[in-house]
Amino acid sequence: MTSHFRSIAEAGTERIHRLLDLTDHMAAVGRRPNPKVPALRGKTVCNLFFEDSTRTRMSFDLAAKRLSADTMTLAVSSSSVNKGESLRDTIETLDAMGVDAFVVRHRTSGVPWQVAQWSPAAVINAGDGWHAHPTQALLDAYTIRQRRGMTNDFTGLKVAIVGDIRHSRVARSTTEILLMLGAEVTHVAPRTLLPPTSQLPTTANLDEVIAEVDVLYMLRMQRERMGAGIVPDGGEYSRRFALDERRASALRNDALLMHPGPINRGVEMMVDPTELSQSTILDQVTNGIAARMAVLFDLLGSGEIEE
């Protein structure tokens, strides 16, 4: 049976620990003068991006290239896919070209599972709907481990994830990996931006938790949610949930400030995070390549990274 990387839960604890260690190794490869290794020479990785995502697509592309895999990319907004061709037709056509792994991004939850039904290739979830973004979760967990000099045991780590949890695949996957590693996660959002049900501690009062957290994870807030009957328009969201000067000063010095990017300045972020020592935002981007190399190598490699 082909192995995939589609969600944190599906990967399981043992594999997540292995991937975190492998990410650490790949990060070291990335710091070399020549960061390219021949590990996936002759393998073909197809990036299937049915939703705009320059950053994740480029990160996957670079990760595959650093492992010497051949890459091809289909970047289409799903609405522009020929109406006569089903998703299944698209997958079967590409599969016939000889693909070892599909990297799939789609605006709808579940598409990576459907792709795996129609192709024997390995499937990596690069973000499906509001559901999962497991490589983001992996890079987030690795970034915490790296910045705090920790092992893979996050017991006692207090994390607050703030913003549009309901519509966020990042929130779902990153929450899942943090709980798996032993952290305590609180979701901070108005009720309208929380999932319909939740087993986690939740609060709508950011100020209540901000001074206590080890990690403050700010989510991107899409402007179109405001004024659409989900949250009020006119700055109320920012007043309640954005990181402003006052809240930034409440953040502990040894805490981490995380964000999956791209930042919506003036919405969830009223300060310049690059001026805050707690910010990990650029580390997350750098580690994203290592995490994706780890996932690709774990699925397609033969055990040896070097020649």
Partner 1 sequence: MNNEAVLLTGALAIDESGERRLDVRVRDGVITEVGDALVVGDEDHLDISGCLLAPGFVDLHTHLREPGMPEAETIETGSRAAALGGYTAVVAMPNTDPTQDCVEVVEFVAKRGREVGLCDVRPSGSITVGRAGQQLTPIADLAAVGVHLFTDDGSGVQDEGLMRRALEYAGELGVVLAQHCEVASLTAGAVMHEGECCSHLGLPGWPALAEELMVHRDIELSRLTGSPVHLLHLSTARSVELVRAAKAEGLLVTAEATPHHISLNDERLSSFDTRYKVNPPLRTLADIEAVKAGLIDGTIDAIATDHAPHPSAAKDRPLDEAPPGMLGLETALGVARAHLDCSWQHLIGAMSWRPAKIAGLSDSQGRPIAVGEPANLVVIDPDVEWQVDPIALASRSSNTPFIGVDLKAKVRHTMFQGRVVVRDGKATA
- Known catalytic residues are 55-56, 83, 105, 133
- Nearest alpha-carbon partner for 135 in 46, 6, 26: 6
The residue count for the chain: 307
Give CA angle at 125 (121, 131), nearest 5°.
140
User: Whose Cβ is closer to partner 1: residue 33's or residue 196's?
Assistant: 196
Q: 288: closest CA among 118, 77, 58, 9?
A: 58
What string marks each residue from 99 to 118 as x (binds partner 1 by CB under 8 A) or -?
-------xxxxxx-xx---x
Nearer to partner 1, 111 or 290 (CB): 111
Q: What distances in angstroms separate CA 28 from CA 2, 31, 55, 67, 301, one per listed residue?
A: 28, 5, 21, 13, 18
The CA distance from 96 to 56, in Å, is: 25
Which lies closer to partner 1 via its Cβ, residue 132 or residue 257? 132
Q: Give the C-alpha separation, 154 to 151, whole Å.
A: 7
Q: Residue 271: which residues within 8 A CB-CB, separation 6 or more?
A: 243, 244, 245, 248
Any contact of residue 271 with partner 1 (CB under 8 A)?
no
Binding of residue 224 to partner 1 (CB under 8 A): no
Q: Is residue 30 a contact residue for partner 1 (CB under 8 A)?
A: no
State the minimum distance, in angstroms, from the CB of residue 114 to partner 1.
6
3-class DSSP assignment, residue 262: coil
* Count of residues near partner 1 by CB under 8 A: 26
Residue 168 CB partners (closer than 8 Å, separation 6+)? 130, 219, 220
Positions 125 through 164 that interact with partner 1 (CB under 8 A): 128-132
Q: What is the C-alpha separation between 178 and 152, in angstroms, rounded?
A: 10
User: Does 49 contact partner 1 by CB under 8 A?
Assistant: no
Q: Which amino acid is at 35?
A: P
Least separation in angstroms between CB 188 and partner 1 = 17
DSSP 202-233: EES-HHHHTTT-SEEEEPP--GGGBTTTSB-T
- Does 35 sit near partner 1 (CB under 8 A)? no
187 lines the binding site for partner 1 (CB under 8 A)? no
Question: Applying CB under 8 A, does 202 fall inside the site for partner 1?
Answer: no
Query: Nearest distance from residue 60's CB to partner 1, in Å?
Result: 20
Query: Is 197 one of the binding residues for partner 1 (CB under 8 A)?
Result: yes
Residue 295 main-chain phi, psi, to 5 deg: -65, -45
> CB of 155: closest distance to partner 1 in angstroms?
24
CB of 168 to partner 1, least distance (A): 8
> Residue 86, interface with partner 1 (CB under 8 A)?
yes
Q: Which stretch binds partner 1 (CB under 8 A): 38-46, 55-63, 195-203, 211-219?
A: 195-203
Q: Whole-number minimum distance, CB 44 to partner 1, in Å?
A: 24
198 binds partner 1 (CB under 8 A): yes
Residues that bind partner 1 (CB under 8 A): 78, 86-89, 106-111, 113-114, 118, 128-132, 167, 169, 172, 195-198
